[in-house]
Structure 1
């Protein structure tokens, strides 16, 4: 698999186009500056003034400090983010590792999504450091970061893998395992499908069962190491007309019942931790 080492300076400045920004209600957008004495580097990255206010508004739903603390993310680590999307978590992780660690972004084998991420990087010259971008190819067995990664993280992507096929999901989890050092941690955040629901919904609704994620991870060789409720949302009933995309930030129904969906907030999410045995 070909590696491409990129800095912001070599990418150039690219304007984002054709994307409508989501405006969060005032109640949801109240971003509080974190002032805890511990995790200073992580707190600094989260509070960085270069993060967009629209992204900070989502901290109330995504809980980046508590989530990354649960996964044991620290500076000077080699961190792999699988399918970073447009880079919401990348704006925290890449600067955190820019000076003394390494940040890898594993992108879909899809030029459009890769371009969106590179546009995000280009908005922050010098901020991401030497972020390394690679592609995931489900037909290959990859070993990213030479099998010496401290952390592999993926946020709300297992449903994408399952939609592409069970074999694709299995390949991705096997790649996660090979890319981690012994004792390394895989952190997964995913929209939660209740265990009593039909499993076919995992490929259409955006929600995935906890048992499915555990099954995929254990099949790859991981040991289940714990769960956090930090990203749980009891207001989410998981049965929306447009799946998880009915809720913010997608609001797939447009203005229809928008106040109702804002009151619910973003989806109910499981936060799972797995370890590669030593």
Structure 2
């Protein structure tokens, strides 16, 4: 019994240290005022702690774009773990429209930052995600955790959600975690929802993940925003940080804040837990 208590105490101490380190990184002034301002909406420490991140893990971050989470993940993992980022293709292979071109350019800028600030970021591995494929292909069962922040609606809009989720399932180790944060569509009834551009139905996303084999183990309201009415002219992009309508009703949309988001934790079951 004494040994059991000691182990729990040691784990609690380690968990507290990890949370303190995440807080230090999230609040680092070097991130810049714009990125720090978003902490109130994106809740990085609470979100990563909810997913169960630990500094020794092998973690894959999908489409980091500006590197908002990368700034936290890379230093947290660099000494004991391994961060891999899956960029937009930088060779233009996935440039289907102006928005994709914009994201590809941002990804290229992040790549330059990673190279220029190697001491701070650490040894980040890089691949491309051109949904549903990784380029080059990733080996199966290699990541303890895969993180996706507001990407699933894009995969769904382009018809790649199921296939992309299947590929995510393959690269996660048995027992590993898929952590997802996504703009949440409004529910009308238990069976129906409505979604303007950028929003995704929570039950639908869970169903797709479970179809490929993931088990939903927890949900959280960490990133919820009840002020978000989800009925805007330009969808989720009407809200900050994009503010797609420019000066039109800008103060009103700023008062709402960023979107209402689901936060979902899935696990790839161990073979012993899988149904026969």
Are residue 134 (structure 1) and residue 127 (structure 2) matched?
A: yes
> CA 1:139 to 1:211, structure 2 compared with 1: closer, same or farther past 3 Å?
closer
CA shift digits 1:178-229 (9 cap, x unpaired): 1111110100000000232898965x61000001210121111100111110
Task: Quote the Cα distance in structure 2 between the aligned partners of 1:108 and 1:74.
Answer: 26
Aligned 8 A contact 2:180 2:265 in 1? yes
Paired residues for 1:137-156 under 5 Å: 137-138=130-131, 140=133, 144=138, 146-156=140-150
* Higher CA-based Rg: 2
Among 232, 250, 254, which residue is 1:262 paired with? Answer: 254
Q: Which residue of 2 aligns with 1:16?
A: none
2:155 aligned with 1:161:
yes
Q: Deviations over 1:10-57 (max 9, x none)?
A: xxxxxxxxxxxxxxxxxxxxxxxxxx7662332232233322221011
Aligned twin of 1:18: none
Q: Give ranges in structure 2 of 5+ residues lacking alignment.
A: 1-15, 92-100, 271-276
Aligned length: 240
Does the 8 A contact of 2:186 with 2:194 survive in 1? no
Determine whether 1:105 maps to 2:97: no
Identify which of structures 1 and 2 has the higher relative contact order when contacts are C-alpha pairs closer than 8 Å and 6+ apart. 1
Structure 1 position 73 matched with structure 2 position 67: no
Q: Secondary structure at the match of 2:23?
A: helix
Instruction: Give the superposition deviation at 1:138.
Output: 3.5
Structure 1 position 156, deviation (Å): 0.6
Structure-1 separation of matches of 2:62 and 2:155: 11
- Of 242, 257, 268 in structure 2, the residue corresponding to residue 276 of structure 1 is 268
Residue 125 of structure 1 deviates from its aligned partner by 3.6
Q: CA RMSD in A?
A: 2.3
Alignment counterpart, residue 31 of structure 2, candidates 46, 51, 71:
51
Higher helix share: 2
For 1:212 and 1:271, the matched residues in 2 are separated by: 14
Cα distance, 1:64 vs. partner? 0.4
Residue number in structure 2 paired with 1:89: 69
Is structure 2 residue 110 aligned with structure 1 residue 117? yes
Kindly report which structure 2 residues correspond to 1:171-210, keeping only aligned pairs within 5 A, or say none. 171-196=163-188, 205-210=197-202
Deviation of the 1:108 alpha carbon: 2.4
For normalisation by structure 1, the TM-score amounts to 0.80
Unaligned runs of 5+ in 1: 1-35
Relative to 1, partners in 2 of residues 1:137 and 1:260: Cα closer, same or farther, differing over 3 Å? closer
1:237-248 matches, within 5 Å, as 237-248=229-240
- Contact kept? 2:133, 2:167, Cα under 8 Å: no
